[in-house]
Amino acid sequence: MTHVTTHVPVLLQEIIQATQGIPTIEKMFDGTFGRGGHCRALMEAYPQARVLAFDRDVEAVQFGNTNLIDKIKGGFLEIIHSDYRDFRSDQWGLFDFILLDLGVSSPQLDEAPRGFSFYHDGPLDMRMDTSQGITAAELLNELREEELIRIFQELGEIRRPYRVVRALIHDRSEKKWESTKQLAGLIERVDGWSVKGHHPATQYFMALRMAVNSELEGVHKGVRQCLAGLKDGGRLAVITFHSLEDRIVKQIFKGEVSGFCFNKKVIQATEEEVKMNSRARSAKLRIFQKGRPLENEFKKFHKKFRQSDIDS
Ligand SMILES: C[S@@+](CC[C@H](N)C(=O)[O-])C[C@H]1O[C@@H](n2cnc3c(N)ncnc32)[C@H](O)[C@@H]1O
């Protein structure tokens, strides 16, 4: 039996709310299409809008072209295999609403050949765009000890990755790193299970994935590109799942003079959403609006969100 994984979009209601009050919605850009959950809901809310979507994973683009395009009646959707950091407003024009929902999708995590998961044995690949770039195996087999330590400390926020890194370097002289189970097994052996239900390899895998796909660099560049692509009065909504990504988004928004941070405090999933979708637990949403606020529109928007989201 084939196992088909779906992706449940996080903060979906909040994303639709984030579009309310934008003067007109004629053009939207979804820079991280995934399985199109947000995209579809946005198109249903604004059937007259033209939508451009990017994903750097060719499987996501194929999925959208096969399953979504025909189902969106009357709407206009174009899905392109591209990286949102390469989005350019001089090529695509200006947009009323832009969404970036960062990180990986559930199908990417669940498909063993993609190499993202320690639960399924597969090659240590972890590239979102499998047509280019270096794999996790190449990083593990080639980087120096201090470079691996830096990746695990900075991206995985692991305080003491030393023993695991030493074991990685030792073992690779006998057998190259190839599979996810091989790596997960080593981490289990060296670090052991300290928190029940939390696999000791979780942070190591996340750090490797972020390094393989240069995700932080993507946020630095891509968020700025997207801000440049907003119409006056348009909004950019960014959902992050990692504290470093959220910090970058927050700093870029705060330092940007062409508009203002729409939500004063970061927006997070409700308890009900987290109960239904545990991925939502670490999701953080920030919204930026180009131009100056209209007093009434600003107040109306803030009424819709929970008080705790907007108190500074
Ligand atoms: C969390 S999922 C998005 C899910 C989507 N919002 C939905 O509702 O189905 C993240 C997606 O962004 C893609 N992605 C991550 N970084 C990207 C980048 N720099 N450029 C384009 N796509 C990217 C991943 O391949 C993945 O498909």
> For residue 125, is it within any domain?
no
Q: Ligand 1, closest atom to CA 57?
A: 25
Inform me whether the pLDDT recorded for 2 exceeds 60: no
- The helix-helix angle for 215-228 and 202-212 (nearest 10°) equals 50
Examine the fold and report which residue of 156, 186, 212 is the final residue of a domain before the chain moves on: 212
- Check pocket membership of 36 for ligand 1, CB cut-off 6 A: yes
Q: Is the CB of 83 under 6 A from ligand 1?
A: yes
Answer yes or no: is the C-beta of 35 below 6 A from any ligand 1 atom. Answer: yes
Please provide residue 62's backbone torsions phi and psi, each rounded to the nearest 5 degrees. Answer: -65, -40
The phi-psi region of residue 103 (left if phi > 0; otherwise alpha if psi is between -120 and 50; otherwise beta) is left
Query: Is residue 3 scored above 50 in pLDDT?
Result: no
Q: Which two tokens stand for residue 294?
A: 């209209």
Question: Which DSSP string do the residues of 238-297 spell out, in sequence order?
Answer: EEESSHHHHHHHHHHHHH-TTEEESSSS-EE--HHHHHH-GGGGG-EEEEEEESPPPHHH
256 and 294 share a domain?
Answer: yes
Are residues 33 and 60 in contact, defined by beta-carbon separation less than 8 angstroms? yes
Whether 153 and 235 share a structural domain = no
Show the domain range for 275. Answer: 12-106+215-310
Q: Is residue 301 part of a domain?
A: yes
Q: In which residue are the tokens 């009050």 written?
A: 21
* Domain assignment present for 183: yes
Q: What 3-state class would DSSP assign to 38?
A: helix
How many domains does the chain contain in total?
2
At 124 the three-state DSSP class reads coil
The answer to whether position 256 is within a domain reads yes
Answer whether 61 contacts ligand 1 (Cβ < 6 A): no
Beta bridge partners of 98: 29, 236
Residue 241 and residue 99 in one domain: yes
In this structure, is residue 114 part of a structural domain? Answer: no
What lies within 8 Å, CB to CB, of 218 at 6+ separation is: 83, 84, 85
- In 117-270, the DSSP E strands lie at 230-240, 259-261, 267-268
State yes or no: pLDDT of 310 exceeds 60.
no
Please give the distance, rounded to the nearest whole angstrom, from the Cα atom of residue 166 to the centre of ligand 1: 33
pTM of the model: 0.92
Quick one: which atom of ligand 1 is closest to the CA of 86?
20
Task: Based on the fold, state whether residues 195 and 224 are members of the same structural domain.
Answer: no
64 lines ligand 1 (CB under 6 A): no
Q: What confidence tens digit (pLDDT) does each residue in 215-265 have?
A: 999 999 999 999 999 999 999 999 999 999 999 999 999 999 999 999 989
Residue 74 covered by a domain: yes
Q: What is the DSSP letter of 9?
A: P
Instruction: Answer yes or no: do 137 and 94 share one domain.
Output: no
**Domain-ending residue, one of 149, 184, 212:** 212
pLDDT, tens only, 132-179: 999 999 999 999 999 999 999 999 999 999 999 999 999 999 999 999
Identify whether residues 232 and 196 lie together within a single domain: no
